[in-house]
Structure 1
Amino acid sequence: MNTHENKSISSFQDLIELMRKLRSKDGCPWDKEQNHVSLKSHLIEETYEVIDAIDSGNPDKLKEELADLFFHIIFHCQIAREMGEFDIDCVMALCIDKMTRRHPHVFGDATATTPEEVIHQWEQIKKTEKGFEERKFIVDGLPRHLPALQKAQKLQKKVAKVGFDWTNIHDVIAKVDEELREVKEAIREKKPEHIEEEVGDLLFSIVNLARFLKLDTENVLHKTIYKFVDRFKKVETELTSMGKDIEKCTLEEMDAVWNKVKSNISK
């Protein structure tokens, strides 16, 4: 074992000991009060901060956010240890066993030469694992708290694997057009429940279009959101430079500056 490996093991043990100290009688009042449920929102927040760091392209920021996320894993393991359920060693052993079993093309005699073959093999192996027998239907197993766009795309991928899918892009676009017409009809009817249902169907069909184009819907929408944020900041800046208060501007004034900003960006 080299010096780097020794240092890694030492750092890992130090982190575990730090967590035990925080949860001990003489530890941190806030940390001692936490449980699996109370930490849920914090875990979600830390996960999204990791994603933001990845998008930033800043390795130092990514390192920092991964440290925060890793701390949460240790936190949950310590809570489970105190309850006599499992500890970090159990989690690591399970991870090693699962990843070894799901990569027989690396650690066994199986063959998988393309990413598609790996994914197919992965899905077949999952079907043999404990807990999978609880899934009675193809559409079972969707994470309850997964964001709606991601959940819709994951659901569509599940049914596509058994052939429930469009055969060409033109049919997918036709479905989007159909759902949009139904939204318009629901609006004319002025029935709130019907409008909500049809808008949901339209969103679902757009997710399907993105999936068919091999786009990640969540990522696509995030990019559009931040593009809008950037442009609107420029609109505010431009209006301020003109001596105008954006809160007192008309829609026409804001729209004119928006188009100017958009035109300058595209040049």
Structure 2
Amino acid sequence: MDDLLNIMELLRSPQGCPWDREQTHQSIRNNLLEEAYEAAEAIDTNDARLLREELGDVLLQVVLHSRLEEEKGGFRFSDVVDGIARKLVLRHPHVFGDCTVQNSEEVLSNWEAIKKQEKGRNTDTQVLQGVSKALPSLMRAQKISKKAAKAEGKPQVLSEAVDSLLEDAKELALSADSGQTEEQRKKLGRLLFSVAEVSGILKIEAEQALSEACDRFILQFEEREKQSAGVEPLIEK
């Protein structure tokens, strides 16, 4: 770890790399997202060698952002490590304290309660607002839907959610010829939110399901293209 920190310090120095010296939090924001997605792809493909490499790239982003802050007199990498270590201890009172839990559900419930207290969120609306807007929209919708149902204390019923989804699809179809683009945008958004809600009830990650659907579509498209290329034109006799 010290080697990596020293390398980053050198890269950011006047004797280092011009590209590294030019970077800001904003300029490399998308790099962090890209590296995280590439690590996720390594997990999806069960490629341990690639995962090791991609986790290194994610760690590089953490080190670079930390270095940028340290140069401004802000936090250091050690502060990042200290912060997450303290958070893990605080949010696992059943391991580091005298709290007892029976199962994973109680662990997650305690985690959310402690997090809510940490963040100073006094209302359930604030909890929903705390779901990051930078998340992919389907993922964000799924988290918001789940948290809202929990806050309201009512179970999410699959049949009711599917009925709502079908009604939203019907409303979108009816508005197709209205020419009211903004209204159609709202109805489409509502439909996608309903899809995310159904995904949550089924305990299926909507983002992953859609990604897999994209892969299947490409394979089917390729098959149709091959079939089309293999069809000889009809010749009239």
Q: Same fold by TM (over 0.5)? A: yes
Please give the per-residue CA displacement for 1:129-153, whole angstroms capped at 9, x wherever unaligned. 1x33487634221212111101111
Matched, 1:132 2:125: no
Pairs within 5 Å for 1:10-89? 12-89=1-78
2:121 and 2:127 in contact (8 A); partners too: no
Q: Please, which of 181, 188, 208 is the counterpart of residue 192 of structure 1?
A: 181
Q: Which residue pairs with 2:94 in the alignment?
A: 105
8 Å CA contact 1:139–1:159 kept in 2: the answer is yes
Q: Quick one: which amino acid aligns to residue 129 of structure 2?
A: D
Preserved CA contact (<8 Å) 1:53 1:61: yes
- Kindly report which structure 2 residues correspond to 1:1-267, keeping only aligned pairs within 5 A, or say none: 12-129=1-118, 131-133=119-121, 137-163=126-152, 167-242=156-231
Post-superposition offset of 1:44: 0.9
* Letter paired with 2:136: P
SS at match of 2:204: coil
Deviations 1:217-255 (A, max 9, x none): 1111111111111222233334334468xxxxxxxxxxx
Contact 1:150-1:218 within 8 A present in 2 as well: yes
Higher relative contact order (CA 8 A, sep 6+): 2
Letter in 2 for 1:55: D
Conserved 8 A contact 2:69-2:76: yes
TM-score (norm 1): 0.81
Cα deviations by residue, 1:187-230 (Å, 9 ceiling, x for unpaired)? 24332222222111111111111111111111111111111112
Q: 2:220 and 2:214 mapped to 1: Cα distance?
A: 10
Structure 2: distance between partners of 1:119 and 1:40: 29
Letter of the aligned partner of 1:59 in structure 2? A
Task: Please report the TM-score for the alignment, with normalisation by the length of structure 2.
Answer: 0.91
SS in 2 for 1:127: helix
Identical amino acids, percent of aligned pairs: 34
Q: Please give the alpha-carbon distance, in whole angstroms, between the structure 2 residues aligned to 1:201 and 1:102.
A: 34
**Matched-pair contact (CA < 8 Å) for 1:166–1:172:** no
79-88 or 183-192, which deviates more: 183-192
Q: Is the 8 A contact 2:162 2:198 kept in 1?
A: yes
- Match of 1:262? none
How many residue pairs align between the two structures?
232
Partner of 1:7: none
Give yes or no for contact 1:150–1:217 (8 Å, CA) kept in 2: yes
Displacement of 1:124 in angstroms is 1.1
Q: CA RMSD in A?
A: 1.9
The residue type paired with residue 236 of structure 1 is E
Structure 2 residue identity aligned to 1:97: R
Instruction: Give, in whole Å, the separation in 1 of the partners of 2:54 and 2:108.
Output: 28
Determine the structure 2 residue equivalent to 1:8: none
SS in 1 for 2:152: coil
Rate the CA distance shift 1:236–1:169 in 2: closer, same or farther, 3 A. same
Distance in 1 of aligned mates of 2:129 and 2:147: 9
- Secondary structure of the corresponding residue to residue 165 of structure 2: helix
Q: Which structure 2 residue ranges, 5 or more long, are not aligned? A: none
Partners in 1 of 2:42 and 2:154 — Cα distance? 35
